[in-house]
Amino acid sequence: MNVKRIVLPVGLMAVVLFAAYGSYHKHDTAEANGMNGKPNGMNGKTNGFLEPATDGGNLKTAVFAGGCFWSVEGPFEKLDGVVGVVTGYTGGHTTDPTYEQVSTGNTGHFEAVQVRYDPARISYSQLLQAFWRNTDPTDAEGQFGDRGTEYRSVIFYDGQEQQTAAEASKAALAAQGKFEKPLVTKILPVAEFYEAEDVHQDFFRTHPADYAYNDAASGREAFLDRVWGEDKELKALESPYANFDKAERLKSLTKLQVDVTQHDRDEPPFQNAYWNNAEAGIYVDIVSGEPLFSSKDQYDAGTGWASFTRPLEPGSVVYREVGGFFSDEIQVRSRYADSFLGHVFEDGPEPTGLRYCTNSASLRFIPKDELAQSGYGKYARLFQ
C-alpha cells in the first residue's frame, strides 16, 4: 500500500506540535502519578545534597532548575566527569512534595536536578556552561512549552565559590550579546532537595522516544539550535594545557613568580609589569600557558594591579573561598596549573560588574601581533 506522507508548512507544524505538547504532557503527568505516588530514596528527602562521596569526599554537587527536569537531566548525564544526576524538587515550602503537588504551582518548588561531579574532571564553571546551553535564560515565566513557576530557571549555589562562579558566568553570557532580552535566571542559595518519583529518574534512558518528543514539541530543541548552533554541545574537556611538567616549568620562574603562583602571595601594587599596560593582546598563565584574560577587558581600577571585567574563556578560571582578616575572599586561580592569580570583587564596571584583581607575576602577556606565532592564533580575531 502506498501511503503518502503529509508535509505541513514549518509554521503550521510548530503550532501543531506545541498544541499537542500540552495535552501530551498532562496525560503523561497523570500516568506518572499513577505509576508511583511516593518519592524514592529516603522518602524523597536528601537533606539538600546526596550522601557524601565514598572516595574521600572528592565529589561535589551542583543544583540547577531549567524547566522540565526530563530535559535538563539528560545533557548533564552525558558529560564526562559527571558521576550521576537526580531529578527532584527544591526551593519550596512543602515537605516531601509529589509531582502532582508541585505541578499545581502552589508548593513554591522548582523542578530541578542535582548533579554530582568530579571536580578533577569537570569544573563547576563548565557545568554552568552546560546549563546555559540547555535553557532559555530570558524567560521569567517558565521554559519553552512548560509554563508556571515550577518551570522557571534557577542556579542554586552552595557557598560563596559557587555563587561567585554563577554570577560571573551569567555576567559573561550577558556580555556576549547572544540574547536580545535581559537574562532573568535567578541565582539563589541551595534549599532542601526532594528526589522525584522513580518514573522521573533517568527519563531520557527509560523513555527515549518520549524524551525526544518532549524536547521537539516544547520548542526547546529548535530554540537551542538557533541560539547556539555548532556551539550547542559543550566542548570536549581535554585541553592542551592540562598535561605539562609543572615542576620543570617552575624552575624557569623567578622567586616572585613562584611566591605568587604557588604560595598565594600578592605582589606590591604599582610595582608590577601589567598594572597599567595599554598594549593589545592576551594574558596567559605563566606556568601552563593557558589563556586567561584579554586586554579588551582590562581597565584601570586605580589599585595598582592589573584588573579585568571577565576571563577570556568562561571556564579558564576557578574560584576558591578563603578566610580573610575581615571577611571571606574569593580567590581566582587558573584551571589547569592551579596558579594563584588574585581575587574577584563585585565592584567592577559594566558589562559584568566584576573586578578580577590580578597579579602580573602570574601572567605572561602575548601582544596581538604575536598571537599566531605563539600558538594563540584563534584569539587574533578579537583585535581585528
Catalytic residues: 68, 357
- Residue 187 phi/psi, 5-degree rounding, is -120, 110
Among residues 83, 85, 81, 104, the alpha carbon closest in space to that of 94 is found at: 104
Q: Residues 6 or more apart from 106 whose CB is under 8 A from it?
A: none
Spatial distance between the Cα atoms of 336 and 316, rounded to a whole number of angstroms: 8
Dihedral sign computed on CA atoms, order 226, 5, 206, 218: positive
Please tell me whether residue 33 adopts helix, strand or coil conformation: helix
Please tell me whether residue 89 adopts helix, strand or coil conformation: strand
C-alpha dist (Å) from residue 287 to 120, 298, 308: 19, 21, 20
Spatial distance between the Cα atoms of 171 and 123, rounded to a whole number of angstroms: 18
Measured CA angle at 174 (ends 173, 179), to 5 deg: 95
Q: Catalogue the E-assigned strands of the chain.
A: 60-66, 82-90, 110-117, 142-143, 146-147, 153-157, 186-189, 193-195, 281-285, 291-294, 298-299, 306-308, 317-323, 328-334, 340-345, 355-358, 363-367
Spatial distance between the Cα atoms of 234 and 227, rounded to a whole number of angstroms: 14
Q: Residues 6 or more apart from 174 whose CB is under 8 A from it?
A: 182, 183, 351, 352
C-alpha dist (Å) from residue 118 to 21, 94, 133, 246, 258: 36, 31, 20, 22, 28
Spatial distance between the Cα atoms of 194 and 202, rounded to a whole number of angstroms: 16
DSSP string, 238-250: --TTSS--HHHHH
